[in-house]
Amino acid sequence: MAKKINNNKNFRYSIQAFWALVTNSFLIGFVQGKIYQGKIKNVCVPGLNCYSCPGAIASCPIGSLQAVIGSYEFKWSFYVAGFLIFIGAIMGRFACGWLCPFGFIQELLYKIPFVNKIKTFKGDRAMRKLKYMFLVVFVILMPIFIVDIIGQGAPYFCKLICPAGTLEGGLPLVLMNKSLQETVGWLYAWKNLLLIITIIGSVIIYRPFCKYVCPLGAIYSLFNPISVFKYHVDKEKCNNCHACSNSCKMNVDLVKNPNDLECIRCGSCKTICPTHAIEYKCLQKTSKKD
């Protein structure tokens, strides 16, 4: 069983690493301190990956959504919203568990040994709702309503909060560009402080940014109960041993709700289930048992 669990974990890590590399495959950008300017940037990636990362070949959906919402021409992005609806309706938070580079970084950080890893705490479940507040306030409302004289709003989530932008774009670009180094100020310091908090938090808590802050996870989570790809628990096979909920690092009780908004579809529950009661489900068809 332990070997099977490790194989499943390693398989997922390989997919995450591969996808992070594909998403950031403009490797020369890291050497030159420049960003990719090709046509693929017309397309969004399903995970959170800053488009100002020197390696990024496509666009961050949260950054793009704010860019269009905050423009003076449009106050809503049907293109980006449609993309998020499409990905969410197909796979729900599977994108978080398998295709998000920043989620992968947090998982790697969680592997660093620490004396007291925190699995849950009082108020954990309530704090998960914060990500919906970040989505509505910082990603949608602020870029629409806080505008300059020509009607342009800033991408406030990127500007004030997003640690992915600081890590993937801010640090490498500022390190490699003297002109940028001369312009850094309190905002850069604030964002680096948030990045440090996220990094320390990720060593102690599993994916804290995904649990409490990520607006992309907030959007995808709404699709978990209705996505094409879902989990299904066969109640006849389930012996209520709770091995699934005990193994779940997102603290989901799969037997209660196999399509909980917090489930990132990592698959650890399916692998650990001794009775093979958990199945993948694509529309009416269920997967074959292991």
H or E element in which residue 96 lies: helix 94-98
Nearer to another protein, 111 or 236 (CB): 236
Count the site residues for another protein by CB under 8 A.
57
Closest distance between another protein and the C-beta of residue 34, in Å?
Answer: 8
Displacement of CA 253 from its chain's centroid (Å):
21
| 99 forms part of the interface with another protein (CB under 8 A) | no
Closest distance between another protein and the C-beta of residue 15, in Å?
Answer: 22
**DSSP secondary-structure letter at 27?**
T
H or E element in which residue 203 lies: helix 186-204
Q: What residues numbered 139-158 form the site for another protein, per CB under 8 A?
A: 154-155, 158
Stretch that binds another protein, among 14-22, 98-106, 118-126, 167-175 (CB under 8 A): 167-175
Nearer to another protein, 28 or 112 (CB): 28
| 49 forms part of the interface with another protein (CB under 8 A) | no
Q: Which amino acid is at 16?
A: Q
Exposed, middle or buried, 47 (CB in 10 Å: 0-12/13-18/19+)?
A: buried
The dihedral sign for the CA sequence 264, 210, 223, 74: negative
Tokens of 240: 């209520």
Closest distance between another protein and the C-beta of residue 84, in Å?
Answer: 8
Closest distance between another protein and the C-beta of residue 24, in Å?
Answer: 14
| 14 forms part of the interface with another protein (CB under 8 A) | no
The total number of residues shown for the chain amounts to 290
Burial call 127-147: b when 16+ CB within 10 Å, e when fewer: ebeebbebbeebbbebbeeeb
H or E element in which residue 282 lies: strand 278-282
Binding string, residues 51-90; x marks residues near another protein by CB under 8 A: xx------x---xx--xx--x-xx--xxxxxxxxxxxxxx
Binding interface with another protein (CB under 8 A): 35-37, 39, 41-42, 50-52, 59, 63-64, 67-68, 71, 73-74, 77-90, 154-155, 158-159, 162, 165-166, 169-170, 173-174, 180, 183-185, 187-188, 190-192, 223, 226-228, 283-284
